[in-house]
Amino acid sequence: MKNESIVAAKKVVHLKAITDTCQLCHAKDLCMSSCLKPDDMERFKHIIGHRAPMDRGQRLYMAGEHINSIYVLHSGSVKSYLESEDGESQITGFYLPGDVIGIHGLKNATHSDTVEALETSSVCALRFSKIEDISTAFPPLQNQIMRFVFSEMDHDQEMMMVLGKMSADRRMAYFLLDMAKRLKNQGLSNSRINLTMTRHDIANYLGLAVETVSRILTRMQKSEIIDVERRSITILDHAKLKNTYSCVEDDIVNSHFQ
Amino acid sequence: MKNESIVAAKKVVHLKAITDTCQLCHAKDLCMSSCLKPDDMERFKHIIGHRAPMDRGQRLYMAGEHINSIYVLHSGSVKSYLESEDGESQITGFYLPGDVIGIHGLKNATHSDTVEALETSSVCALRFSKIEDISTAFPPLQNQIMRFVFSEMDHDQEMMMVLGKMSADRRMAYFLLDMAKRLKNQGLSNSRINLTMTRHDIANYLGLAVETVSRILTRMQKSEIIDVERRSITILDHAKLKNTYSCVEDDIVNSHFQ
DNA sequence: CGATGTATTGAACTCGATCAAACAGTGTGG
DNA sequence: CCACACTGTTTGATCGAGTTCAATACATCG
């Protein structure tokens, strides 16, 4: 979140044919383009374009900028965050390939969050002049985008519960289980989590201090719930982790079922 | 949030003509129907319907129910909340006339939150079998709904900042300023806030304990920022309240500008 | 009038923050 | 290759904002 970090160049890299691009894309099954048939693709060439890949720390867009595209993350991972007047920032989400980015702030056609790459990442842009253009252009695409808008709403609401009601341990358990679930959707293991964000990022996202995150991770390791090795976390005991998340006291569980 | 409270009867009260209904509605300027011309109304008679008014504590819908309508609050006020497995609940929003309700959970066509009346309230329902029906039916209406979906996303994201980063005092200031702003939009005073929710509700919404809310209100009253009289709160000093919200130390402000 | 739901106030406690310091990778340049 | 700087992580000690517990006050309503 350094101020010096460079905003990614807005150069659009047109690949030889958008049809090929989407067909060859390794995120195509996750992407909203999966709803498009090859002949539909032809119609949408002009609104779809790949951006030059971003390095870690580079920004895709910043809060306050006019929205002229929404994006699908093609590879890598990014974080989005809000900044308040007094300079505090709140990470609002971490995104993985296939996720749709840039849908917050559409009400005023102005990005309300800033998106920054956590590692080398690339996106596919969906350009438009008015958001209604996408609506009217092609219903299946519109619906697919809406699915992502709706799941983003579900996530944001879920975060209210996490930030408003849960203890530090529960928040951490939530984070790990959520990441595991999403990585599984990516076709990866649901036990091995390779984090691309710092402890600081995790802490900020969960409304905790870095030290608390660190302490909870070591505590969970000692309880043999997870194995921590720098940025690589392995879930050893899914059940225990879920119990931590569900806030069910182990003692109570045991006394009931044994 | 008592379990005994009765779910509002799903009886639809058809008023003599929907055209009249919307024309006479005192929330029409706030409502999304404002985008419809009188002759459009005719086309939408069949999907728009008024529900019988709800008493305080009655629920409009509950989490888990299939979504077959979204609603515009016609009169009164309601709260929405999530419930976790272990019975904890988190209030996610308070809604005023003109607000669109029931758009969370559309991804799975299942309400993710529960909506409960804070006072005698009535809604106008927009029925549909598939959410896409609204999309395709009439673009202006679709766009109007999307505006509300987008502003809901902005709110939810804002709440992450409030719950994740702000002190109890800032949260309270945020709540009061937000309510004042929204009541002003209703054509009411932006200084006199007549709350329809309990301190318990406010505390739950802001991720605080009831006692904390109570203490902060009395403290703010002693500082002559607000005047508290049961559920009626008057903002006496907007500037001071905004300073509390922006987390700008009074001392610093004074030393800079005096 | 008592009963019930709601709000305030005080006292004690606790979870997680803050402060402080050490430690571990990673990269840079001599 | 090592010395140095730099960033990110861990661990310990202390502190405090806000919770929890407990008691009281206050309104409204049968």
Give the CA-to-C1' distance from A57 to C30 in angstroms.
29
Give the CA-to-C1' distance from A202 to C8 in angstroms.
38
- Residue A7 distance to chain B (closest CA, Å): 23
- Residue B89 distance to chain A (closest CA, Å): 8
The Cα–Cα gap between B258 and B193 comes to 32
The Cα–Cα gap between B239 and B242 comes to 5
- Residue B16 distance to chain A (closest CA, Å): 33
Confidence of residue B83 (pLDDT cuts 50, 70, 90): very high
Predicted confidence (pLDDT) at residue B32 exceeds the cutoff of 70: no
Question: Residue B228's beta-bridge partner residues?
Answer: B233
Among A249-258, B86-95, B108-117, whose mean pLDDT is lowest? A249-258
The Cα–Cα gap between B120 and B76 comes to 6
Coil/strand/helix, residue A213: helix
Residues 185-214 of A with CB under 7 A from strand D: 198-200, 210-211, 213-214
- Residue A73 distance to chain B (closest CA, Å): 20
Nearest CA in chain A to B168: A164
CA-based end-to-end distance of chain A: 50
Partner residue facing B153 (CB), from A82, A143, A156: A156
Contacts of residue B225, defined as CB under 8 A and 6 or more positions apart, other chains included, come to B235, B236, B237, B240, B241, B244
Q: Which residue has the tokens 């160049």?
A: A9
Q: Does residue A230 approach strand D to less than 7 Å at its CB?
A: yes
Confidence of residue B143 (pLDDT cuts 50, 70, 90): confident
Q: What 8-state DSSP symbol labels residue B239?
A: H
Contact B60, B111 (CB under 8 A): no
Nearest protein residue, CA measured to C1' of C5: B198
The predicted-structure confidence for A131-159, as pLDDT tens digits, reads as follows 777 666 666 777 788 889 999 999 999 99
Predicted confidence (pLDDT) at residue A252 exceeds the cutoff of 90: no
The Cα–Cα gap between A174 and A55 comes to 28
pLDDT of residue B126: 86
Q: What is the mean pLDDT of residues B27-47?
A: 68
**Interface residues of chain B, partner chain A, Cβ below 8 Å:** 82, 84-86, 88, 90, 92, 103-107, 112-113, 131-132, 135-136, 139, 142-143, 146-147, 149-154, 156-161, 163-165, 204-207, 246-248
Question: B245, exposed or middle or buried, with CB in 10 Å at 0-12, 13-18, 19+?
Answer: buried
B63-A100-A116 Cα angle (round to 5):
115
Nearest CA in chain B to A83: B161
Q: Quick one: tokens of A91?
A: 């990470």
Q: Quick one: tokens of B76?
A: 């009164």
- When comparing pLDDT for A53 and A44, which is higher? A53
Q: Does residue A218 approach strand D to less than 7 Å at its CB?
A: yes
The predicted-structure confidence for A155-177, as pLDDT tens digits, reads as follows 999 999 999 999 999 999 999 99
Predicted confidence (pLDDT) at residue B243 exceeds the cutoff of 60: yes
Q: Quick one: tokens of B136?
A: 């395709």
Phi first, then psi: give them for residue A62, nearest 5 degrees.
-125, 150
The Cα–Cα gap between B149 and A148 comes to 12
Contact A14, A20 (CB under 8 A): no
Confidence of residue B146 (pLDDT cuts 50, 70, 90): confident
Q: Which residue has the tokens 């980015």?
A: A101
Q: The pTM is what?
A: 0.89
For chain B, the average pLDDT equals: 84
The predicted-structure confidence for A176-230, as pLDDT tens digits, reads as follows 999 999 999 999 999 999 999 999 999 999 999 999 999 999 999 999 999 999 9
Q: What 8-state DSSP symbol labels residue A121?
A: B
Give the CA-to-C1' distance from A208 to D4 in angstroms.
33
Predicted confidence (pLDDT) at residue B1 exceeds the cutoff of 50: no
Predicted confidence (pLDDT) at residue A257 exceeds the cutoff of 60: no
- Residue B25 distance to chain A (closest CA, Å): 25
Predicted confidence (pLDDT) at residue B105 exceeds the cutoff of 90: yes
Q: Roughly what angle, to the nearest 10 degrees, separates helices A139-165 and B199-206? A: 110
For chain A, the average pLDDT equals: 84
Instruction: With CA atoms as reference, report the closest residue to B153 among A69, A33, A82.
Output: A82
Partner residue facing A135 (CB), from B82, B143, B160: B143
Partner residue facing B207 (CB), from A153, A156, A165: A165
Question: B50, exposed or middle or buried, with CB in 10 Å at 0-12, 13-18, 19+?
Answer: middle
Contact assignment for A161 to B207 by CB distance below 8 Å: no
Confidence of residue B249 (pLDDT cuts 50, 70, 90): low
Partner residue facing B90 (CB), from A103, A160, A248: A160
pLDDT of residue B247: 75
Q: What 8-state DSSP symbol labels residue B54?
A: B
In sequence order, what DSSP letters do the residues of B166-194 get, joined into one string? --HHHHHHHHHHHHHHHHHHTTS-SSEEE
Among A51-65, A125-139, B8-22, B134-148, whose mean pLDDT is lowest? B8-22
Give the CA-to-C1' distance from A215 to C30 in angstroms.
39
Where on strand D do bases come within 7 A of a protein Cβ?
8-13, 17-22, 27
Give the CA-to-C1' distance from A19 to C21 in angstroms.
57
The predicted-structure confidence for B192-215, as pLDDT tens digits, reads as follows 999 999 999 999 999 999 999 999
Contact A141, A134 (CB under 8 A): yes
Confidence of residue A24 (pLDDT cuts 50, 70, 90): low
Question: Residue A61's beta-bridge partner residues?
Answer: A115
Predicted confidence (pLDDT) at residue A114 exceeds the cutoff of 80: yes
Partner residue facing B132 (CB), from A86, A143, A164: A143
